[in-house]
Structures are given as C-alpha cells and as structure tokens.
Amino acid sequence: MESGGALFAGLQPNHLLAPSRNATSVFPPFFSDKRSSSFHSLRVQRQVNFASSIVKVGSHVRRDATLSDTYISETSELADIDWDNLGFGFQPTDYMYVMKSTKGGFFSKGELQRFGNIELNPSAGVLNYGQGLFEGLKAYRKQDGSILLFRPEENALRMQMGAERMCMHAPTVEQFIEGVKIAVLANKRWVPPTGKGSLYIRPLLMGSGAVLGLAPAPEYTFLIYVCPVGNYFKEGLAPINLVVETEVHRATPGGTGGVKTIGNYAAVLKAQTAAKAKGYTDVLYLDSIHKKYLEEVSSCNLFIVKGNTILTPAVKGTILPGITRKSIIDVACSQGFQVEERLVSVEELLDADEVFCTGTAVVVSPVGSVTYHGERVTYGNNGVGIVSQQLYTSLTRLQMGLTEDKMNWTMELK
C-alpha cells in the first residue's frame, strides 16, 4: 500500500480543515518507533491506516443519505482551491465510496474511505482480462446550496447492462444511487460554487477477485470517486475540429462498443493521439462494415442538423447509448425539431447545416469542421450553430436547476 504520508500529502491544502481522524496525525509515532522491526511497523502502519481512514456507512444510513451531523460539519466549508480556474484535470478529493460483492454476487457493506490508492491482487480480473466498467455523471450546486444530480438511475442501469455484457456482478440501481449520494455529500466542499463548474462523479466497477485462467472474477469492487471540474467551455461554446477515421474502428457488431468498458478507451488512444498531433480535436469513427455510416467520437455521441431535422446514428450495439444523447433527443423533440435515429452517412455529415457532439463532460460540443479523406468542411456561424447553442442552453439550465424540471430528470441532495 502506498504510504499514508504520500496519500495525504496530496491533500495538504485540505487537511487543515480535515477531521481528527486524518491519518497524518496518527502516523509519526509509528514511523519513529525504532523498536519495531520494519516488517512489524509496516503491518501496524497498514492497520492504523485502515482503521483511521474508513468511515463506516452502516445499514442505518437512510436512502436519502443523510450523514451524521459531525460528519456533515466536517465537510461543509468550501475547499480552498482557485474555483475560477477549474479545468478538466484530476484533483484529489476527501473520500471515495467502496463496496464489494460477496460470493453470491450481492454487494453489501458500502463504506467511505479516505481518497487514495487502492490495493488489488495482481491476478485481479480487471488487471489481467479487462473486466472493468466506468460511469460518469455530474453534480451541480444550486444557488440555495442544494446539490442536483442528473438522471443517476440512467447511469446505474447502464452499468448493469455493461456488467451483463462483461460477465460481472453489479450493484442494484438503489445501491448505485445511494453510493453516489454518499460520495457527493462526503465531498460536499468540492462541489464548485454555482456557475463555476460541477462535481464530476466517476463510478467504477471492476473484477477485483483473483483469476488465473480466463474466467469471470469471483469478486467485484464498486468504487466511486469525485473530482471538481470547470465548465468545459469557459468563454461560451468553443467549436471542435474532427477528422473522420477511415482505417481504425472503435467498435464492431457483436463487440463491446455499446458498453462503457475500459478496454474501449485504450483502444482508441492511438487514433486519437495521431489526430491530435495533426491539430484535430478528436476522431469521428465510421461503422466497420460499410465504412460509410457515422458512429461516434472517442467519448461522445454525434448529431447533425439539417433544416428542422436533427439526425443521430441509431444505437445498435456499436455506439455508446449516451444519457446526454437521450436527453438532447427529448429536449429537441419538445422544442419542435424532428429527430431521427437511423443510419447517417458521411455524405449527410458533409452536407449538414450544423454538427455537434454530446456527452456528460461537454454536454453539447459544437463541431466547427470535419475533415474526410483530406477534405475539410466547415460549418456556419463560426462553427457554433444556433441549434447547438439553443440545445446546450436548454439542457445545462435544466441540469443546474435554473429552469423548471418538467421531465423529472434532476435529483436533489440536501
């Protein structure tokens, strides 16, 4: 295990505000105990770290995830960071939520642990055979201090679908949402002030049990960490430049493109890195059979606008069913657009009025240009189309609690 010193060093600015159970105050006596053998002191260190870094979340915790008063007060102040310059990078926070499955495949005894490195058996299914899934959602702080989650049950269901595909055990929808609530409330001081960004929530599911021959792991770990992120586009919407990839494919029929499994992402790094080196923002993938129908970008879905019609590739197993995608379709329909989910060809892309991508991180990201076989097509209004702008504003206002949530998509945490 990584030394607690290193772990908490990363949290230096915060630990001044942190509770007495902060292990930094516990470590020095053990480190200076010269009478112990190094083996013994290591063991003690580990036990102390374990004991001091876990906050039990027992079954008495109600579904609305109210934590004890002392606990809430520890986390009520805002973290001491530069909220005006939040980017999209990793920032350690205070706690992570961890829950393991038992033999029968049921998850139980979820608990908060101090954010830090985790221990894994080198033979863990996730490390050897890629049995891993991730999710991503955001929490926004409203002006009245309450915190809003956006459609967390959709992420829970998608993780279950992914788990089914990858032969993994998954938490129930209730367990998933409870874990998310607990992780967010425990790290409340990391939820950016209204208008400065959001708390990105990253649930992971991994085969943590040991396997040697290829087989599903016997045990799974569900872990949630959170990280404050800025609004993706600080100065309003900034258009991105995509290149259509004609050689590499992100997904194939019958494969795993439709689930958020970790291996799908390492597999696109090469094409993405090459595209970035040539000045493009990201890669647009085509279907692997005909090599002419649009699929999606490395981590977001694609939409094209033509007149009053909005087209997006239908979800048929090779495209990730984005929750932003689904929400944008509903918002666009409610605003009178005709939305079609079907095969969309490269020709239609090159002939579009507007193109945009959707995903939790960006919400809506307008596409300024697309390059296909060396030919660059740009889109009007400097790449920030009116429809993209309008849909971005509608959805983000709803997510931030600035407009009435008629869809019943947001979930409020107190």
Shortest Å distance, C-beta 166 to ligand PLP: 14
Alpha-carbon distance of 132 to 264, in angstroms, equals: 10
Spatial contact of 322 and 356, defined as CB atoms under 8 Å apart:
no
Q: Which is nearer to ligand PLP, 11 or 262 (CB)?
A: 262
190 secondary structure, DSSP code? G
Closest among 205, 204, 221, 211 to 129, alpha carbons compared: 211
Active-site residue, 306 included = no
Query: Using CB under 6 A, which of the segments 10-18, 52-60, 102-110, 352-360 binds ligand PLP?
Result: 352-360
Of residues 168, 323, 352, 364, which one binds ligand PLP by CB under 6 A? Answer: 323
Of residues 322, 366, 383, 385, which one binds ligand PLP by CB under 6 A? Answer: 322
The structure tokens listed for 198 are 């959001």
Using rule CB under 6 A, residue 296 touches ligand PLP: yes
Q: Which is nearer to ligand PLP, 169 or 325 (CB)?
A: 325
Using rule CB under 6 A, residue 75 touches ligand PLP: no
Q: Which is nearer to ligand PLP, 299 or 371 (CB)?
A: 299
Shortest Å distance, C-beta 352 to ligand PLP: 19
Query: Using CB under 6 A, which of the segments 35-43, 237-245, 308-316, 321-329 binds ligand PLP?
Result: 321-329
Catalytic residue among 181, 234, 260, 414: 260
Q: Which is nearer to ligand PLP, 112 or 319 (CB)?
A: 319
Of residues 301, 318, 371, 399, which one binds ligand PLP by CB under 6 A? Answer: 301
Alpha-carbon distance of 276 to 93, in angstroms, equals: 30
Q: Which is nearer to ligand PLP, 11 or 224 (CB)?
A: 224
The structure tokens listed for 368 are 């300024």
Identify residue 73 by its one-letter amino acid code: S
309 backbone dihedrals φ, ψ, rounded to 5°: -105, 135
Spatial contact of 92 and 115, defined as CB atoms under 8 Å apart:
yes
Alpha-carbon distance of 305 to 335, in angstroms, equals: 14
User: How many Cβ atoms are within 10 Å of 29's Cβ, its own excluded?
Assistant: 10
Task: Tell which positions 118-157 bind ligand PLP, by CB under 6 A.
Answer: 136
Query: Using CB under 6 A, which of the segments 18-26, 138-146, 270-278, 322-330 binds ligand PLP?
Result: 322-330
Using rule CB under 6 A, residue 198 touches ligand PLP: no
Binding track, positions 358-387, relative to ligand PLP; x by CB under 6 A: xxx---------------------------
Spatial contact of 338 and 328, defined as CB atoms under 8 Å apart:
no
Alpha-carbon distance of 222 to 100, in angstroms, equals: 6
Q: Which is nearer to ligand PLP, 169 or 260 (CB)?
A: 260
Alpha-carbon distance of 219 to 107, in angstroms, equals: 10
CB-count exposure of residue 245 (10 Å: 0-12, 13-18, 19+)? buried
Binding track, positions 224-263, relative to ligand PLP; x by CB under 6 A: ------------------------------------x---
Using rule CB under 6 A, residue 325 touches ligand PLP: yes
CB-count exposure of residue 84 (10 Å: 0-12, 13-18, 19+)? exposed
Query: Using CB under 6 A, which of the segments 72-80, 184-192, 319-327, 348-356 binds ligand PLP?
Result: 319-327
Alpha-carbon distance of 277 to 95, in angstroms, equals: 36
Return the sign of the alpha-carbon dihedral for residues 32, 38, 39, 40.
negative
Catalytic residue numbers, as ranges: 260
Q: Applying CB under 6 A, which residues contact ligand PLP? A: 136, 260, 296, 299-301, 320, 322-325, 358-360
